[in-house]
Structure 1
């Protein structure tokens, strides 16, 4: 029965490191970008362009990093990632020129993949897979305060320190706080897997709802849906304030935009209290639907203040749920076997889509205007809903396998033919009636 309880200590520890990880490696950048640009004699656009390149590089490396989560264990990878993240921030702070800074920034975003949500979700799955979906929900609730905390923290530090000094402080936080916490989690995970010589995580492995021969198509549909959601999220989030200003809401743009963070947290809290029995696929569809509807509300209602508030809240609700389902939906569809590698592939698609979205959306606003740009974002949200609906069709034709033995199932990277062969040689029996 002990394995049906949530690993509260691990969730709390990861909540701390996720806030620090996202706050220091992502949210702080927008506060410090102007000072960075002045220091290197560049425009702010060039600095954000470097960030986009760094995010793209992180996305390309994500599949390899995901495999490392399975091979070495998420706790060890996160410990190593925290050390690398701290070193990368120090290299950014010590950069003598823009080229060196750009290389260090790429290293920073690659390290971010080793310590942020994808790795944290994998650790929770490896630690206690049978309650991992609930653990992920609680973790995203705690980590939802990263922007709320680190925007003012970064601004306060920046009042007395140059951006290099702020990055040095953040480097110390990753090395002195996050790395020891992740090391403790790695030892907890190792202890749980080796106690009495039994791999308890494998014994409690979670099975996916898709049959082996359906998994490749299901994975493609899930990645398409997540990629469109990441594109919508990144495009709107980066440009939210100028978007509202361009629609005649300049005086309220910052105030309305600030509703996004609390709305994210509120959606996770509501889901935690009222949506515990809601299947992850339904939650994913709701998330995508909210992200598709929100720009329509803004487009049709602006410059109404009420419409702008509804837009910010709906978008925050959808984005908040998106963080949850990006961890729980892969687990629900494909199970816990090979979860780290699966998360690596999902992270790659999301990061690549989100890396180019801010530039593409800015280009669209400048050349075709805000209405058409918002329309394109709405289409992206609808495409995500359709992809998730197609997965629902696959699930309806499949029933979860009741298995014996190891419980290992082929990952979605296998072809349908090889997956079927693997399933036929295992001891798993599936009820397809």
Structure 2
């Protein structure tokens, strides 16, 4: 019989292997299937003559498909584990990147991005976190470590994608990214634990997704994550022109935006160091209070870099922590039973805010003749998100 020390050491080694496998797979997956998308717009416009709106419609379509596919994918992970679906989803993404490199027809391009939505639903965050929650000895710490590594995705893949496009052209660059995207599937099959076999006669248990989504805690988390998704995607699309409108020098604008990643990583590193001394409820409350404060600073701050750096710090820390709360916090508040299906349902709740945010903010800018009302809209949504999370955090 193994000594307790040996059992603890083996569990820690398994968590480390799980952390590295998921972190590397997610970094590559997000880098190839999402983060580099914007780099391909200009060369595709130049060669194919497609409009920018037509090209970006592909990503919007993928986000819609991914959101609505999240529930069946999550249910599959609950029943069969996430090892195989992460592998096959990753390889589907690789195949579609390769198909994209030969694109010459707009309908075909849109069809492949609909398929890319399925690949993203199967290969990216939701199934990966379900594997961690069900397999890790310390899921919260493991997820925090994963997000610390994945925080460098844009830092790695945006320069890499730009260099590949410049050196090889956009079509061959996609083929290189497709080859890289084969790696996550191989890692999943090689390193992730095999789920225990489920007898054909095993009962499905008492979990009901229909009952779960009616719980006040679920509704609170759904409202919080929807508000956060609108703010995050909206600022991702409009932060640079909004800051430029304030009259800041271009270097200051780019610095404020560029610091989002390092501030996120610093927050996650601090959380990793704190370990079990904090709860996900507490982390979520901090993040959801920092968000409206940061948006209020954005609304009221004079066009001075020191004030806007305070906005950048508050928003980046909140955003970095919420990535962890969306994974580990759901398990802490709603439990692990049916985790894949529940997180899939929460993803559905963010579909409309994520896809509508860039367009709605653009319409406000056009109607108001500037971005003046936008920060106040974000303040209101952030307050709604904080109240919603507080409701969820009180649940037991």
Same fold (TM over 0.5): yes
User: How do 1:87-102 residues align onto structure 2 when only pairs under 5 Å count?
Assistant: 87-102=95-110
Q: State the Cα deviation string for residues 75-94 of structure 1 (Å, max 9, x = none).
A: 11101101111111112222
1:273 aligned partner: 273
CA distance in 1, matches of 2:179, 2:79: 28
TM-aligned CA distance change 1:31 to 1:140, over 3 Å: same
**Which secondary structure does the structure 2 equivalent of 1:96 belong to?**
coil
Partners of 1:54 and 1:106 within 8 A in 2: yes
2:380 aligned partner: 379
TM-aligned CA distance change 1:115 to 1:214, over 3 Å: closer
1:70 aligned partner: 78
CA distance in 2, matches of 1:258, 1:283: 24
User: How do 1:114-133 residues align onto structure 2 when only pairs under 5 Å count?
Assistant: 114-128=122-136, 130-133=137-140
Structure 2 segments unaligned to the other structure (5+ residues): 200-210
Q: CA deviation at 1:148?
A: 0.9
2:205 aligned partner: none
CA distance in 1, matches of 2:284, 2:347: 16
Q: CA deviation at 1:331?
A: 0.3
Structure 1 segments unaligned to the other structure (5+ residues): 199-211, 399-433
Partners of 2:133 and 2:328 within 8 A in 1: no
CA distance in 2, matches of 1:214, 1:349: 11
TM-aligned CA distance change 1:253 to 1:46, over 3 Å: farther
CA distance in 1, matches of 2:294, 2:188: 37
**Which secondary structure does the structure 2 equivalent of 1:238 belong to?**
helix
2:238 aligned partner: 239
2:157 aligned partner: 150
Partners of 1:127 and 1:189 within 8 A in 2: no
- Name which of structure 1's ranges 269-278 and 69-78 shifts more when overlaid on structure 2: 269-278
1:19 aligned partner: 27
Question: 37, 53, 63: which is aligned to 1:29?
Answer: 37
Check if 1:184 corresponds to 2:190: yes
Partners of 1:95 and 1:101 within 8 A in 2: yes
Check if 1:256 corresponds to 2:282: no
**Which secondary structure does the structure 2 equivalent of 1:371 belong to?**
coil
2:328 aligned partner: 328
Q: CA deviation at 1:291?
A: 2.1
Q: CA deviation at 1:230?
A: 0.8
CA RMSD of aligned residues (A): 2.2
Q: State the Cα deviation string for residues 150-198 of structure 1 (Å, max 9, x = none).
A: 11111111111222211111111112x1111011134x233xx36xx99
User: How do 1:171-250 residues align onto structure 2 when only pairs under 5 Å count?
Assistant: 171-175=178-182, 177-186=183-192, 188-190=193-195, 193=196, 216-250=215-249
Normalised TM-score (structure 2):
0.89
**Which secondary structure does the structure 2 equivalent of 1:230 belong to?**
helix
**Which secondary structure does the structure 2 equivalent of 1:248 belong to?**
coil
Extract structure 1 runs of 4+ deviating beyond 4 A. Answer: 212-215
TM-aligned CA distance change 1:63 to 1:78, over 3 Å: same
User: How do 1:342-421 residues align onto structure 2 when only pairs under 5 Å count?
Assistant: 342-368=342-368, 369-393=370-394, 395=395, 398=396
Partners of 2:333 and 2:392 within 8 A in 1: no
TM-aligned CA distance change 1:46 to 1:289, over 3 Å: farther
Q: CA deviation at 1:276?
A: 3.5
User: How do 1:51-70 residues align onto structure 2 when only pairs under 5 Å count?
Assistant: 51-70=59-78
- How many pairs are equivalent? 376
